[in-house]
Amino acid sequence: MALHRPLILTLLAAAFLSGCVYRPDIQQGNLLSVKDIEQVEVGMTRSQVRFLLGTPMVSDPFAPHRWDYIYRMEYGRQRSVDSAHFIVHFEGDKVVKVEMLDAIGPSRWTRNADQKTD
């Protein structure tokens, strides 16, 4: 029994310490506030949008008329994820459509060139 005691203590210590794994929070992409996103209006130029929101996370060379702003926050210990996806569509050098597919919060909306902005 005396020989098994260190082995049992080692196994118990390993079992308790296995729950103490550090999981860091991982933040990726452009975190944009709804206030910033609402400032983007139909008719703005690409340089104005870039000045306001920064460089897009995804700029597809096969679809240069679309800029995707993506944000993802993964909380390590809680294993929960917040994400946001905002798209700006261009025709030439002007914004023609603005849409928010996923938001950190309740707002989901689309703004087209056909819609009036107040």
- Give residue-wise pLDDT tens across range 25-68: 888 888 888 888 889 999 999 999 999 999 987 778 888 899 99
**Quick check: is 13 in a domain?**
no
The C-alpha angle 35, 37, 41, rounded to 5 degrees, equals 115
**Quick check: is 3 in a domain?**
no
**How many domains does the chain divide into?**
1
**Quick check: is 72 in a domain?**
yes
- Give residue-wise pLDDT tens across range 57-115: 777 888 889 999 988 888 887 778 888 888 999 999 999 999 988 776 544 444 455 54
**Quick check: is 7 in a domain?**
no
Distance CA 65, CA 95 (A): 9
What is the domain-level CATH number for residue 31? 3.30.1450
Range of the domain at 39: 24-112
Distance CA 59, CA 89 (A): 11
**Quick check: is 14 in a domain?**
no
CA-wise closest residue to 103 among 44, 37, 51, 59: 37
**Quick check: is 8 in a domain?**
no
Give the H or E element holding residue 14. helix 4-17
**Quick check: is 101 in a domain?**
yes
